[in-house]
């Protein structure tokens, strides 16, 4: 059991999400930084789908009510256990009564905190992820509050060893988002396409788990027309009448009618999770084969991490 001491509603219980229900109007949800979730669970030998806490508002504090192992990944943020600093992307072992504190990140925007055995909240449509719009999943379908207590699932006995990792993808340029052209890509004029790929875009204050609105040059279509609502997924870059792009994210609606200029590849969605308000972003066009190769490399890295953790814990 853990007790939340200091938090905010943007901090929620998340897991890999709720795929397979977009046709029913249910958002994917799940951790914004999925590789950080999978890495945290790998560090603890948890199942990949084990539920964690996604921290987006700081400082965040919790007290361990029982002895357990934990892991902190995602944004590079100052973290301490009873005042003793912890390295980033680290797994530690806490005794009952100890306090974990995480302060605002020096780099990034969201921290993942995982616990051996995973957070034990009810499954809803096959997932423990919080759907704040729908008001279900996670802890009563809402963000965490001070005084909340969360049960942790049973975990195999592990040696109380502390170690960390530095995944290969963290060395990538966090500002560059690789994209594939989307359905209405050719409907934008040449100047707009040059601007889309050639200029920096700023994450506006209108940014949350549903999507990020970007500030920058206005994008213009050659032939404006109304579109019927159609399916969209995390990473879809839509352009409303204002000409300012909106990137759909984990809690996005399942359909929309704005023109789609591009789609951020899955391997780069974690960069958006770690882009705070005011961050500068650039788009880089890639091929489908390059997008698949990037995702495969990321997944291979996670497999190697889990294998290394298995050896380290023997």
154 inside domain: yes
299 inside domain: no
Contacts of 252 (CB under 8 A, 6+ apart): 27, 28, 210, 211, 232, 233, 234, 236
What pLDDT is recorded for position 160? 60
Structural domain boundaries, residue 134: 2-166
What pLDDT is recorded for position 167? 87
What pLDDT is recorded for position 246? 96
307 inside domain: no
Q: Give me the phi and psi of 231, to 5 degrees please.
A: -65, 140
The predicted-structure confidence for 239-293, as pLDDT tens digits, reads as follows 998 999 999 999 998 888 899 999 999 999 999 999 999 999 999 999 999 999 9
What pLDDT is recorded for position 180? 98
Contacts of 15 (CB under 8 A, 6+ apart): 30, 31, 37, 49, 50, 51, 52, 118, 127, 128, 129
Sheet holding 68-76, edge to edge: 12-14, 52-55, 107-115, 68-76, 90-94, 163-164
Radius of gyration of the chain (CA): 20
Q: Does residue 278 share a domain with residue 180?
A: yes
Which residue, 258, 72, 294, is CA-closest to 176?
Answer: 294
Q: Does residue 181 share a domain with residue 236?
A: yes
What parts of the chain have a pLDDT lower than 50?
none
For residue 278, what is the domain's CATH number?
A: 2.40.100.10
What pLDDT is recorded for position 208? 94
What pLDDT is recorded for position 229? 83
What pLDDT is recorded for position 157? 57
């Amino acid at each position: 059991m853990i007790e939340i001491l200091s938090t905010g509603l943007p901090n929620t219980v998340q897991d890999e999400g709720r795929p397979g229900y977009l046709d029913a109007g249910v958002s994917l949800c799940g951790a914004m930084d999925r590789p950080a979730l999978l890495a945290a669970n790998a560090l603890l030998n948890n199942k990949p789908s084990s539920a964690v806490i996604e921290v987006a508002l700081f400082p965040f504090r919790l007290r361990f009510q029982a002895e357990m192992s934990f892991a902190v990944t995602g944004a590079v943020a100052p973290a301490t256990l009873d005042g003793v600093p912890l390295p980033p992307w680290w797994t530690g072992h806490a005794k009952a009564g100890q306090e974990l504190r995480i302060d605002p990140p020096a780099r990034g925007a969201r921290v993942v905190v995982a616990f051996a055995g995973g957070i034990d909240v009810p499954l809803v449509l096959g997932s423990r992820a919080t759907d704040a719009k729908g008001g279900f999943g996670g802890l009563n379908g809402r963000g965490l509050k001070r005084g909340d207590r969360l049960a942790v699932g049973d975990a195999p006995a592990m040696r109380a060893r502390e170690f960390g990792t530095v995944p290969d993808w963290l060395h990538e340029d966090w500002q560059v988002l690789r994209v594939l052209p989307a359905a209405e890509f050719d409907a934008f004029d040449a100047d707009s396409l040059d601007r889309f790929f050639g200029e920096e875009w700023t994450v506006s204050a209108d940014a949350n788990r549903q999507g990020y609105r970007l500030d920058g040059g206005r994008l213009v279509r050659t032939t404006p027309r109304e579109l019927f609502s159609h399916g969209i997924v995390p990473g879809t870059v839509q352009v409303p009448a204002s000409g300012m792009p909106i990137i759909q994210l984990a809690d996005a609606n399942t359909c929309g009618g704005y023109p789609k200029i591009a789609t951020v590849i899955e391997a780069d969605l974690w960069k958006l999770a770690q882009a705070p308000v005011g961050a500068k972003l650039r788009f880089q066009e890639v091929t489908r084969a390059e997008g698949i190769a990037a995702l495969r490399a990321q997944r291979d890295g996670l497999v190697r991490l889990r294998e290394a953790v298995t050896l380290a814990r023997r």
